[in-house]
Amino acid sequence: MAAITFNNVIKRYGKGKHELQVIHGVNAEISDGEFIVIVGPSGCGKSTLLRMVAGLEEISGGDITIGNRVVNDLEPAERDIAMVFQNYALYPHMSVFDNMAYGLKIAKVPKDEIRARVAKAAAILELGPFLERKPRQLSGGQRQRVAMGRAIVRQPQVFLFDEPLSNLDAKLRAQTRLEIQKLHRELGITSLFVTHDQVEAMTLAQRMIVMNAGRMEQFGTPEEVYHRPASTFVASFIGSPPMNLLSTAPHVKPGTILGIRPEHLQIVPQPADTGWTVQVEAVEMLGAERLIYTRLDSEPLIVRINEEQDLAPAIGARLHVVPQPERLHWFDEATGKRL
């Protein structure tokens, strides 16, 4: 196992007037054994950052360190990492056992050790009954477990996951998330996991890097990122539904943006000295909860209520909502940064 350090890491494509910089000076220190999720929208640079750790993309500036080694100029095979891709990349003509063992055979690992490593990985991933099957005889979730098993038998210092759950349906994604958590608890190997899904990020991460347009917006625990977002981008990207961001509401000073999570708004029966009167535009059922979509003058405002405690208002109704004062967030309107 090994720690990972990003020291002012930069990535550029092209030269001269055609140069395009896609990663802008990322700095982060990842501890030995940590599970880090890199999350952000499509095109934000998260997979590029991961591929630079893997050695699949050259580093244009700065350093990446794995353990005590700067790996900028090392080939992928020299970095002691194992990568799990979105598309599984299994050999269709090989059995599950042979897919998992292939890299070890190439590395000339003794046969007895190969059998022992594959058996251990298969036990962890509950693949024992499927070792003689071909990939076409497996479900999508089982194929992804085989891909993870192939990485486990390598016994690397670092696991790299590049959106490995994107091809699975919602139920399998949730199940595989639990398996990945269990896997990390058992092996304790430093892991970087890339996803665009903020739910995956919140449920898997010990800490998370939130990327936006090639820049690291925030690096912290899921609790820190959710409860103290560093910018309006983080506030609007993390959370489902996202944080309400208001710039023209009453009591909001010019030059600032007020943020409030939907669950931190309370509907009160009578207008109060604080809060706002809003008009209901839509109501969305979420099992034990409801989302009330309202409008405050020209700005949308979402309120989350508990089904058991609050009655859903009628479309077009006017409500008075009061934010919890200790849950208010303030951001600079020009920069988007937290004040």
CA contacts within 13 A on the Cβ side of 161: 33
pLDDT at 88 over 80: no
The two tokens of residue 322 are 């009061």
For the chain, what is the mean pLDDT? 92
pLDDT per position as a tens digit, 268-283: 887 767 889 999 999 9
Domain 4-236, CATH: 3.40.50.300
243-332 shares the fold of 4-236: no
In the chain, at which residue ranges do the beta strands (DSSP E only) sit?
A: 4-13, 20-30, 35-39, 61-66, 69-70, 81-84, 158-162, 190-195, 207-212, 215-220, 244-246, 256-260, 265-268, 276-286, 289-296, 299-306, 318-323, 329-332
What is the per-residue pLDDT for 62? Answer: 97
pTM of the model: 0.90
What is the per-residue pLDDT for 309? Answer: 63
What is the per-residue pLDDT for 170? Answer: 81
pLDDT per position as a tens digit, 195-251: 999 899 999 999 999 999 999 999 999 999 999 999 999 999 999 899 999 998 887
The two tokens of residue 210 are 């939130």
Q: Is the peptide bond before 241 cis (omega within 30 degrees of 0)?
A: yes
Sorted by where each begins, the domain ranges of the chain are 4-236, 243-332
DSSP state of 314: P
Domain range 243-332, CATH class: mainly beta
pLDDT per position as a tens digit, 26-84: 999 999 999 999 999 999 999 999 999 999 999 999 999 999 899 999 999 899 999 98
